[in-house]
């Protein structure tokens, strides 16, 4: 499969605080079309004012006992800058030791991407004021004004990396390869943005982070991330029995209570159980409006995004959220629970993301048409046994 999606953000479905979806918040949502690549928004950042990640598969779970630490990965994002003067673009960090648990104090910088005054990009590694240079591209790779799509791929086991930049005409160029570099750790588990300062800024859009299995290509290829919102109610389930009112606090239609863009925490569907225990399985599917995806597009991955707020049962436990999914017209046996995450006890409303490279039931690549028609694929919030 080459690359497998872990986390993505188009910055389109929410506003006010990137901390609702990232490990820490920062930046300002931008709606000026001159600074937006796809959809309705991008994120404006400056040095010291941008979101961070410290747990790629589950960014809002900052206190996870063990976090993911991929040694082979690709990070891709659209980058627009108002200046070129030696600013850091991003830092890929190692926050915990190889056990995924023990904090590293201080956190260690594994890779730094830096834009230079001549439009080149440098890749460096190391802590301190003078990190080690791994390599620098030719001049003119970046210019002020347009969006450039940057994809950085690294194999920290073999010590190889590559940098690919795609222009606004969708022409991709591999601008740097390097090998034999040495980092302080054999993996990464976090990301920090840089950016200009003062009156200048940078804008990011269509961000993704993926693992990589070393097969070519080691990147997605300057993707555009489109927003699809719920458009109709689908199948519901409670304790392995079909139940259209799986979320019992409000009544149907449910989709119109969870399709707000940006987010609306005053309108939501919820489940309450007087006995004090969560159901052992719960799910609500929705059909989606995927009409924003251009016809004939290749769909590299689908990411389901659910805004959750979790209470606890009488034993103090929170449910383990997942995605409940299956085809319209199918019965409960045609649906399943996928990508289960740890519950966050007594959490406020936060975005949880669930990435799927292929249809989890058929194993086939996605198509936009899969979400339309009489057998439209449904996805929605769930709690249950995965599979």
- The C-alpha angle 248, 249, 253, rounded to 5 degrees, equals 75
Query: Of 182, 212, 242, which marks where a domain is finished?
Result: 212
* 223 occurs within a structural domain: no
Q: How many structural domains are present in the chain? A: 2
One domain, residues 316 and 377:
yes
One domain, residues 42 and 150:
yes
- The C-alpha angle 45, 55, 349, rounded to 5 degrees, equals 75
One domain, residues 204 and 272:
no
Strand, coil or helix: what is 51? coil
> According to the model, what pLDDT value does residue 87 have?
98
Give dist(CA 319, CA 276) in Å, integer: 12
pLDDT class of 312 with cuts at 50, 70, 90: confident
> According to the model, what pLDDT value does residue 280 have?
86
Query: Of 179, 212, 245, which marks where a domain is finished?
Result: 212
> According to the model, what pLDDT value does residue 287 have?
97
* 222 occurs within a structural domain: no
One domain, residues 200 and 244:
no
Give dist(CA 283, CA 381) in Å, integer: 6
> What's the chain's average pLDDT?
95
> Could you tell me the two tokens for 315?
């034993």
Strand ordering across the sheet containing 336-338: 241-242, 229-238, 282-289, 377-383, 321-327, 336-338
Give dist(CA 245, CA 210) in Å, integer: 36
pLDDT tens per residue across span 72-107: 999 999 999 999 999 999 999 999 999 999 999 999
One domain, residues 129 and 237:
no
* 217 occurs within a structural domain: no
Neighbours of 348 (CB within 10 A): 11
pLDDT tens per residue across span 244-267: 999 999 999 999 999 999 999 988
Query: Which of 240-249, 277-286, 378-387 is the least confident region?
Result: 378-387
pLDDT tens per residue across span 332-382: 999 999 999 998 989 999 999 999 999 999 999 999 999 999 999 999 999
> According to the model, what pLDDT value does residue 331 have?
96
pLDDT tens per residue across span 11-42: 999 998 999 999 999 999 999 999 999 999 99
Contact 283, 381 (CB under 8 A): yes
> According to the model, what pLDDT value does residue 387 have?
57
Radius of gyration of the chain (CA): 21
One domain, residues 275 and 308:
yes
Give dist(CA 354, CA 339) in Å, integer: 6
Give dist(CA 58, CA 47) in Å, integer: 24
* 218 occurs within a structural domain: no
One domain, residues 43 and 178:
yes
* 19 occurs within a structural domain: yes
> According to the model, what pLDDT value does residue 1 have?
59
Give dist(CA 268, CA 65) in Å, integer: 29
The CATH number assigned to the domain holding 57 equals: 2.60.120.200
> According to the model, what pLDDT value does residue 319 have?
87
Range of the domain at 334: 229-383
pLDDT tens per residue across span 164-220: 999 999 999 999 999 999 999 999 999 999 999 999 999 999 999 999 999 989 999
pLDDT class of 386 with cuts at 50, 70, 90: low
* 224 occurs within a structural domain: no
Place of tokens 């409960």: 332
* 219 occurs within a structural domain: no
* 193 occurs within a structural domain: yes
Say which residues have a Cβ less than 8 Å from residue 172's Cβ, sequence separation at least 6: 164, 165, 166, 221, 222
One domain, residues 150 and 233:
no
Quote the distance between the C-alpha of residue 154 and its chain's center: 18
pLDDT class of 384 with cuts at 50, 70, 90: confident
pLDDT at 311 over 70: yes
pLDDT at 385 over 80: no
Concatenating the DSSP letter of every residue in 190-218 gives EEEE----TT--EEEEEEEEEEE-SPSP-
Contact 244, 301 (CB under 8 A): no
One domain, residues 287 and 175:
no
What residues does 81 pair with on adjacent strands? Answer: 202
Place of tokens 């890779």: 111
Query: Of 212, 247, 277, which marks where a domain is finished?
Result: 212
pLDDT class of 277 with cuts at 50, 70, 90: confident
> Could you tell me the two tokens for 200?
């200048």
One domain, residues 199 and 52:
yes
One domain, residues 203 and 262:
no
One domain, residues 233 and 207:
no
pLDDT tens per residue across span 98-143: 999 999 999 999 999 999 999 999 999 999 889 999 999 999 999 9
């Amino acid at each position: 499969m080459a690359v497998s999606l872990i986390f993505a953000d188009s910055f389109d479905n929410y506003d006010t605080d990137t901390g609702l979806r990232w490990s820490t918040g920062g930046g300002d949502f931008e709606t000026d079309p001159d600074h937006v690549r796809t959809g309705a928004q991008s994120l404006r950042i400056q040095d010291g004012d941008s979101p961070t990640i410290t747990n790629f598969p589950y960014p809002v779970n900052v206190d996870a006992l063990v976090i993911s630490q991929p040694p082979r990965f690709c990070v891709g994002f659209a980058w627009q800058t108002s200046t070129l003067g030696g600013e850091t673009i991003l830092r890929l960090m190692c926050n915990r030791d190889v056990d995924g648990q023990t904090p590293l104090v201080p956190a260690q910088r594994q890779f730094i991407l830096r834009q230079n005054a001549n439009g080149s990009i440098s890749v460096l590694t190391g802590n301190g004021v003078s990190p080690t240079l791994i390599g620098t591209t030719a001049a003119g790779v970046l210019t002020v004004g347009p969006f450039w799509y940057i994809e950085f791929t690294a194999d920290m086991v073999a010590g190889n990396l590559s940098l690919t930049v795609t222009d606004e005409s969708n022409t991709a160029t591999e601008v740097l390869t390097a090998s034999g570099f040495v980092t302080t750790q054999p993996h990464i588990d976090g990301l920090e943005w840089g950016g200009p300062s003062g009156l200048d800024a940078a804008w990011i859009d269509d961000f993704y982070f993926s693992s990589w299995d070393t097969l070519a290509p080691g990147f997605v290829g300057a993707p555009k991330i489109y927003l699809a919102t719920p458009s109709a109610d689908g199948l519901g389930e409670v304790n392995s029995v079909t139940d259209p009112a799986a979320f019992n606090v409000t009544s149907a239609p449910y989709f119109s209570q969870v399709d707000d863009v940006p987010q609306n925490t005053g309108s939501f569907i919820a489940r309450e159980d007087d006995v004090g225990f969560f159901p052992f399985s719960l799910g609500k599917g929705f059909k989606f409006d995927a009409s924003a995806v251009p016809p004939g597009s290749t769909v590299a991955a689908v990411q389901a995004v659910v805004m959750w707020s979790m209470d606890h049962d009488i034993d103090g436990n929170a449910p383990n959220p997942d995605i409940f999914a299956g085809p319209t017209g199918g019965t409960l046996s045609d649906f399943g629970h996928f990508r289960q995450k740890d519950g966050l006890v007594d959490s406020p409303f936060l975005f949880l993301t669930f990435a799927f490279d292929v249809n989890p039931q058929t194993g086939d690549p996605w198509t936009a048409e899969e979400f339309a028609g009489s057998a439209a694929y449904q996805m929605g919030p769930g709690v249950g046994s995965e599979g």
